[in-house]
Every structure is written in structure tokens, then in C-alpha cells.
């Protein structure tokens, strides 16, 4: 086995200098850093994570707790976090709370027994508080907790739903139903609020609202209920792509053509949404940027690879070649990560986020630069990180911070103007 002393001898430097390079310490001259990295590559040296964990008095593990591992959005979030962890020399441990606050609590306590370097949690629908984690940093993702007791990274769900609703209204729809997520889940409540903000002031008022879990079965059940109404909706805005796909299936079983007879819009832009028939119009959440912000809260800016190798590639938050994408602005408290805040300050991490190859302006929003990669691509265009000491004390924000990131409306083939005879001026 290649030892650090072998790398130091090959590079002609002291053990201390080699150690500082391997651990990403910024206080090393460029020529020394390059010699050590070259020697490490030539010898095939990789740092020992167990030894590094013992020295730091914590394991090089990051625990992710999600409410439902069968939800494709959480799978994509786990993938992005794992890529970021791998680039830093950490490993991701995934736990499933199954939408149970008690299971979530036990999972967090079990994680703390292993002294992780950080914890990322997507709270369950019934979670009101999380256990104390001591000196282990914790970040909440996707769903806000009451009181905001921990740093939180979310999408601007309200603005995303408003953009989708405005797009449907712009097509001429007035009987727009909303299939919202579970009551009490902040993301679901915000999406419903975004829908109501636009439809509540129309002459007909808002359409029917059905609430339920973010799954396929809920979409099918709700669609059947909505289609049985005396005046069924001409468009359905779903709170997730899973729900929207369930709606598509229910419409198919009724012999309805989407979008000729009814329009359907989802939320999340999971990979499957581009493969349905028709392809699903949806609201994209910036999964990669959510993961990057969460990891910055836990471990600080991403350091260069210890041995100088490029970071693992990952899927970009990009649209398909034929997608029409509108970038949305977000609101949220200014955070130490530099995310866009309520004053409109630029989000430096989002500079490389991209839209589809043939983008156009949608629902009054601006478009983003074209990107050649497809939704399944492994091209990652992350901004260059600043060097950081991986084993240094982990950052703890002085106070809880909320980071709200922009969403994008992705227009595909599942939405069209309402059928003749159903349009309202």
C-alpha cells in the first residue's frame, strides 16, 4: 500500500508539506502543491478516510434522511449530494423516514451515534422539531420547519406554482384545478398559495383543490374525482410530477387526449417527466444547487480534489433539447452561502445553471443560456471552489439562515389552449 511518506519522498518534500497538500490546506506554494499531486497520481495514492476521521474526531460521513426513497425527486437529491460528498472525500449514508416523525427521530439519533460530519434532512409532513445534534451541523432541505430552527435550503415553490398557473391562464384556461401536496408540508402549502394568488382574483374564483401525498396513486384518484365533476377542469396543476403522471394515466383510462381535451402540468422536473406521452410541462427545482448549498452549510466551500484529480461528473440542472424554459426569480433571507436574497442580489452558484438548447421566454420570464447536455447527462459545470481545510472545524452559521433558490418553468407538450366551447374571455 502506498503511504504518504512514499508520496513525500517521490515529490522531494517533507511529510508536513505532503500532508497539507493532501488535506487541501491553502497555505502551500503552488509548485510544491503540483509536485505532491503529480507524485500522488503517479503512485496511485489516495488518503485514508479512517485515519482522517480519527484525527478529526468524526467520521467522514454525511447522513441524508428523506421521507420517501421511492420519490424520484429525493433520489435525484441524494445523487447530487453523493457526487458532492465524493468530490470532498466523504461518503453519503441514506436513511428513509417513511413520512414518520418517529422513524425520522430514530434515524437522526442513530446517525449521531456514528459521529457524522454533517446531516441533511428533508422533514416529514408531521415533523415540528428535530433532536439536538450538538456540534454536528444539520441542514434542512426542500421542506421548511416551523420556526426555522436550522439552516434551510429550499426552492421558491410559491413563485414556481404562480409561473405555471400564469402560463395556463395565458393559454386561455380558467377552470384550473390544483392537486396540492399534503397539508402542513411547507413546500405543498407554498405551491398551493402560488396557485391561489393568481386564480383567487379571477371572476370565477379558483378551481377545485384536492390535497394528498406526492405520489402516483394520489394523482390517479384526484383526477378521477375532478373529471367526474359537473364542470370538470380544462387544466390540472399538480403539486409533483408523480401526481401529474398519475393524472396522465387517469386521463388515458377515460379516453381523454392530453393536451387536446385537458392540459396537465407537474412540479419538480424529474427525469421521467420528459419521457411521458405527452412529455410533461413542469416546474424544475434546481436540485444540484440545493445540494451544493446544503453541503456548503455543512462543510464549507468545496476544496480541490486532494490528489488533483477532477471532481466526479454529475447531472446539470438542464432542460431537454426541445424544452422551453423560463427562469424564475426567488426570494429569501440572505445567507452566508451567497444565495439570491429578497433584495435580488446575484447567486454566484447559479451562474452555470442552464436551460435547453432551444429555449424561449415563457410566462414573462427570462431565459437562460443554452446548454448542450440532456437531462441524463453527466456534465457538471460547477464554479471553481475556494480551497478549504477539510478537517478544520466545520462551519456553523451564527443564526439560522433561509436560502430560497429560483425555479424554472419547463414547457413541453402536455399543455395547450382549452378545447373550443370551454374558453372563457
End-to-end distance of the chain based on CA atoms, in angstroms? 76
The verdict on whether omega for the bond into residue 278 sits within 30 degrees of 0, i.e. cis, is yes
Residue 376, exposed/middle/buried by CB under 10 A (0-12, 13-18, 19+)?
Answer: exposed
The pairing of strands 324-327 and 138-141 is unpaired
Task: Answer yes or no: is 143 within a domain.
Answer: no
**Letter string b/e over residues 199-235, b meaning 16 or more CB atoms within 10 A of that residue's CB:** beeeeeebbbbbbbbbbbebbbbbbeebbeeeebbbb
Distance CA 94, CA 75 (A): 10
Q: Smallest Cα–Cα separation from 339: which of 297, 302, 374, 381? A: 297
Residue 301, exposed/middle/buried by CB under 10 A (0-12, 13-18, 19+)?
Answer: middle
**Would you put residue 115 in left (φ > 0), alpha (ψ -120 to 50) or beta?**
left
Distance CA 227, CA 396 (A): 50
Range of the domain at 13: 4-46
Residue 308, exposed/middle/buried by CB under 10 A (0-12, 13-18, 19+)?
Answer: middle
Give pLDDT, residue 399. 59
Q: Smallest Cα–Cα separation from 234: which of 279, 163, 176? A: 176
The verdict on whether omega for the bond into residue 373 sits within 30 degrees of 0, i.e. cis, is no
Task: Answer yes or no: is 358 within a domain.
Answer: no
Task: Answer yes or no: is 68 within a domain.
Answer: no
Task: Answer yes or no: is 362 within a domain.
Answer: no
Cβ–Cβ < 8 Å for 413, 260: no
Task: Answer yes or no: is 40 within a domain.
Answer: yes
Strand partners, 141: 153
Q: What are phi and psi of 403, to 5 degrees?
A: -115, 120
E strand or H helix that includes residue 244: helix 241-253
Give pLDDT, residue 302. 77
Q: How many domains does the chain contain in total?
A: 1
Give pLDDT, residue 23. 72
pTM for the model:
0.73
Task: Answer yes or no: is 141 within a domain.
Answer: no
Give pLDDT, residue 1. 81
Residues 6+ apart with CB under 8 A from 22: 4, 7, 36, 40, 47, 306, 307
Give pLDDT, residue 89. 82
pLDDT in tens, the chain (425 residues): 888 899 999 999 998 888 888 876 767 889 998 999 899 889 888 776 555 555 556 688 999 999 999 999 999 999 999 999 998 889 999 999 999 999 999 999 999 998 999 999 999 999 999 999 999 999 999 999 988 779 999 999 999 999 999 999 999 999 999 999 999 999 999 999 999 999 986 666 789 999 999 999 999 999 999 999 999 999 999 999 999 999 999 999 999 999 999 999 999 999 999 999 999 999 999 999 999 999 999 999 876 554 444 443 333 444 444 555 554 333 333 333 333 333 333 343 333 343 333 333 343 333 233 333 333 322 222 233 333 333 334 445 555 799 999 999 999 999 999 998 765 55
Task: Answer yes or no: is 25 within a domain.
Answer: yes
Give pLDDT, residue 282. 98
Give pLDDT, residue 59. 82
Distance CA 299, CA 322 (A): 37
Distance CA 47, CA 133 (A): 28
Give pLDDT, residue 28. 86
Handedness of CA 81, 82, 87, 90 (dihedral sign): positive
**Tell me, what CATH number does 40's domain have?**
1.10.260.40
Cβ–Cβ < 8 Å for 91, 62: yes
Cβ–Cβ < 8 Å for 60, 72: no
Q: What is the dihedral of CA 282, 287, 293, 296, to 10 degrees?
A: 180
Give pLDDT, residue 324. 58
Task: Answer yes or no: is 244 within a domain.
Answer: no
Give pLDDT, residue 4. 87
Amino acid at each position: 500500500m502506498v503511504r504518504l511518506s512514499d508520496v513525500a519522498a517521490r515529490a522531494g518534500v517533507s511529510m508536513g508539506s505532503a500532508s497539507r497538500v493532501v488535506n487541501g490546506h491553502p497555505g502551500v506554494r503552488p509548485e510544491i502543491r503540483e509536485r505532491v499531486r503529480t507524485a500522488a497520481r503517479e503512485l496511485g495514492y489516495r488518503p485514508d478516510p479512517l485515519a482522517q476521521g480519527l484525527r478529526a474526531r468524526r467520521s467522514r460521513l454525511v447522513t441524508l434522511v428523506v421521507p420517501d426513497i421511492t420519490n424520484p425527486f429525493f433520489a435525484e437529491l441524494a445523487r447530487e449530494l453523493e457526487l458532492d460528498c465524493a468530490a470532498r472525500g466523504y461518503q453519503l449514508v441514506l436513511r428513509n423516514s417513511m413520512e414518520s416523525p418517529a422513524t425520522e427521530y430514530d434515524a437522526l439519533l442513530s446517525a449521531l451515534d456514528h459521529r457524522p460530519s454533517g446531516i441533511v434532512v428533508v422533514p416529514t409532513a408531521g415533523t415540528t422539531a428535530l433532536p439536538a445534534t450538538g456540534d454536528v451541523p444539520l441542514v434542512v432541505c426542500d421542506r421548511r420547519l416551523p420556526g426555522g430552527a436550522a439552516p434551510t435550503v429550499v426552492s421558491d415553490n410559491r413563485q414556481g406554482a404562480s409561473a405555471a398557473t400564469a402560463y395556463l391562464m395565458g393559454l386561455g384556461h380558467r377552470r384550473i384545478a390544483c392537486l396540492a401536496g399534503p397539508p402542513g408540508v411547507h413546500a405543498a402549502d407554498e405551491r398551493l398559495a402560488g396557485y391561489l394568488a393568481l386564480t383567487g382574483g379571477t371572476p370565477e374564483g379558483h378551481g377545485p383543490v384536492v390535497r394528498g401525498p406526492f405520489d402516483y396513486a394520489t394523482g390517479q384518484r384526484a383526477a378521477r374525482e375532478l373529471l367526474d365533476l359537473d364542470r370538470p377542469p380544462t387544466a390540472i396543476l399538480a403539486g409533483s410530477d408523480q401526481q401529474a403522471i398519475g393524472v396522465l394515466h387517469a386521463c388515458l383510462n377515460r379516453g381523454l387526449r392530453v393536451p387536446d381535451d385537458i392540459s396537465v402540468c407537474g412540479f419538480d422536473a424529474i427525469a421521467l417527466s420528459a419521457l411521458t406521452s405527452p412529455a410533461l410541462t413542469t416546474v424544475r427545482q434546481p436540485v444540484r444547487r440545493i445540494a451544493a448549498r446544503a453541503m456548503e452549510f455543512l462543510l464549507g466551500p468545496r476544496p480541490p480534489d486532494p490528489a488533483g484529480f477532477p471532481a466526479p461528473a454529475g447531472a446539470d440542472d438542464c432542460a431537454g433539447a426541445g424544452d422551453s424554459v423560463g427562469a424564475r426569480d426567488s426570494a429569501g433571507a440572505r445567507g452566508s452561502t451567497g444565495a439570491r436574497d429578497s433584495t435580488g442580489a446575484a447567486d454566484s452558484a447559479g451562474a452555470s445553471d442552464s436551460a435547453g438548447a432551444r429555449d424561449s421566454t415563457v410566462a414573462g420570464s427570462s431565459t437562460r443560456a443554452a446548454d448542450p447536455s440532456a437531462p441524463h447527462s453527466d456534465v457538471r459545470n460547477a464554479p471553481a471552489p475556494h480551497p478549504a481545510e477539510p478537517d478544520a472545524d466545520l462551519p456553523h452559521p451564527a443564526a439560522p439562515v433561509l436560502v430560497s433558490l429560483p425555479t424554472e418553468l419547463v414547457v413541453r407538450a402536455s399543455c395547450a389552449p382549452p378545447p373550443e366551447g370551454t374558453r372563457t374571455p
